Chains A and B, each alone.
Chain A
């Protein structure tokens, strides 16, 4: 058990391509840190630098307070779960789990004890004599987990471990991983591009974009106060609506690109003339009965009925395409049809204002 600390970690390939541009994260002992971001954002590179599979160009990685930059992956006392499981195809499940322990010269009976214990925890006891190809996807996933558990390492590293499973199994394994990590109390770093996985698993969530950590916080804090347009768009589904706007005269609200004026409540508004983006999550817009109480009117162009919810797609009536698309999440009981005009109110305090140029939260 140990803390994992990254200080200004950078990765440059071939002296030119900067994959990770200086990331610092402090992961407390026993907690789960999830790195999330689109492909190519540098999250996997970062994980592989923690693992020792990739050289660190600059900065330091410490595990348990000790700088491990110069250590090979085997010496860092970490265990890793891979996207494609990376089980040794010619070895039985038992040997797959035991291999790392044998390489460390552990006593046979201790290996046996650990493998059987891990197998029991993961429900793999009856599969120990099988080869990986005789197992289902979920079982292989468990073997990969088992291989990490038996090592009792200082840290678990997960590299998109669930992306090869079907949706149902993924949901199930997500919960298993969460519970296992909690009960074992092992510090973990988990890489994913799936924001649902990220939200549900993380103690600390790191949203990465183009080699930088855009925001590091708890999942709820990130959802509630995204630090940038990128984070706002990446966390939450459907994504947050972003409308181009300019700051109006004091007390007059915001001018949308199409000319309409919006005045969200309980929100600090930008100074007059400043180019901004107004962000509102689809679930934070409420259908009101009176047009006069509406902050914004939505002209519907498409409807998705999901059962519990209905998603109304369209654009602001007073605006045009320049002000952007708009999606509202309404209760499933509301009947909406194409070409309807919906009067919507933004829930108090639920509007986010970002600087149009920098994309940062104001």
Chain B
């Protein structure tokens, strides 16, 4: 609650002050700062870069360390092989299916969560009804029940409902969470009551108010949340691990793990590396391209 409000001011602060350096910072210490940052970038970005490098070398080069620091000449060869059947030969499922599954999961979770959360926040903030606070707390408490602490019984529910190896099973249970609802609630509470009154005098019922006023005003929040939740969905691990048995229902992250765990001398590491790059690339693109929303969403939801 309060933390989200603080987040908002922090996000605002992030936007500001892009220009000036701090007062009294000497030229020398600025150079030192750049040097440290470059080392930092090397550490932070290097593993990703190195994976890309590996994906452009031949299997033989990869198996004989040390691996060169610059990309090799097998980019086209490796990627075309991987994309057209190569990955299928390792994991049994072609990369298209894996990427499709992961995209479906990430999108469904992001969109589903936003829809479900915005509706329940709308109900909690703009209506008064018996058990309102009961429902609010009921949603709030789910913060304290992550999948990790209820693995087995949740799995059993999935089996009983026949949701193993289905897209519904992969996504639906992850769609309800308190974080997004709390964020929307927090935002809705900042909307002045007079605006609601004005809308009512203007003849807008709840649905019109939602569609004409609330949704347009929530645009930035929705965009921010979408980025966060897309990443959340894309990087899921424990859940897909539990509810998928069939390889063709795997997400790319799970498939990758299986490729590595069955690794033997014959493993086509260069193709595994291509899969790795393909698994990392979409969420990185989303984060980098939608950086503004991402930072806002992250700092505000404090997920």
A residues touching B (Cβ–Cβ < 8 Å)?
Answer: 48, 51-53, 72-74, 78-80, 82-90, 99-100, 103-104, 147
Contact = CB atoms under 8 A, between A and B. Distances in A.
B192 interface: yes
A103 B198 contact: no
A86 B200 contact: no
Nearest to A148: B201
A147 B199 CA distance: 11
A82 B198 contact: yes
A99 B212 contact: yes
A73 B217 contact: no
A318 B192 CA distance: 55
B interface majority secondary structure? helix
* Chain A binding surface SS class: loop
A74 B197 contact: no
Contacts of A51: 197, 201
B202 A90 contact: no
A86 B197 contact: yes
B260 interface: no
Contact of B197 (A80, A90, A100, A103): A80
B208 interface: yes
Given A99-B212, A103-B208, A86 B194 contact: yes
A89 B192 CA distance: 11
Given A84-B192, A103-B208, A90 B200 contact: no
A74 B194 contact: no
B223 to A, nearest CB: 14
A99 B202 CA distance: 7
Interface string B167-206: 0000000000000000000000000101101111111100
Nearest to A78: B201
Interface of B: 192, 194-195, 197-204, 208, 212-213, 216-217
Given A86-B194, A88-B213, A103-B208, A80 B203 contact: no
B19 to A, nearest CB: 23
B200 A72 contact: yes
16 contacts: A51-B197, A53-B197, A72-B200, A74-B202, A78-B201, A79-B201, A80-B197, A80-B201, A85-B194, A86-B194, A86-B195, A88-B199, A90-B213, A90-B216, A103-B204, A147-B198
B203 A104 contact: yes
B285 to A, nearest CB: 29
Which 7 pairs between the two chains have the least Cβ-Cβ distance?
Answer: A100-B202, A74-B203, A86-B194, A103-B203, A86-B198, A82-B194, A90-B216
A349 to B, nearest CB: 45
A232 to B, nearest CB: 33
Contacts of B194: 82-86
A78 B198 CA distance: 11
Nearest to B208: A103
Contacts of A99: 202, 204, 212
B188 to A, nearest CB: 14
A6 B209 CA distance: 30
Contacts of A79: 201
B8 to A, nearest CB: 16
A253 B144 CA distance: 78
A80 B217 CA distance: 22
A20 B200 CA distance: 23
A90 B209 CA distance: 13
Contact of B192 (A73, A86, A100): A86
Contacts of B208: 103
Given A89-B217, A90-B217, 5 more contacts: A52-B200, A80-B198, A86-B192, A88-B198, A99-B212
Nearest to A157: B201
B198 to A, nearest CB: 4
A99 B199 CA distance: 9
Contact of B201 (A88, A89, A90, A100): A100
A88 B211 CA distance: 13
A86 B213 CA distance: 12
A84 B196 CA distance: 12
Contacts of A78: 201
B211 to A, nearest CB: 11
Contacts of B217: 89-90
A85 B200 CA distance: 14
Nearest to B216: A90
B212 A73 contact: no
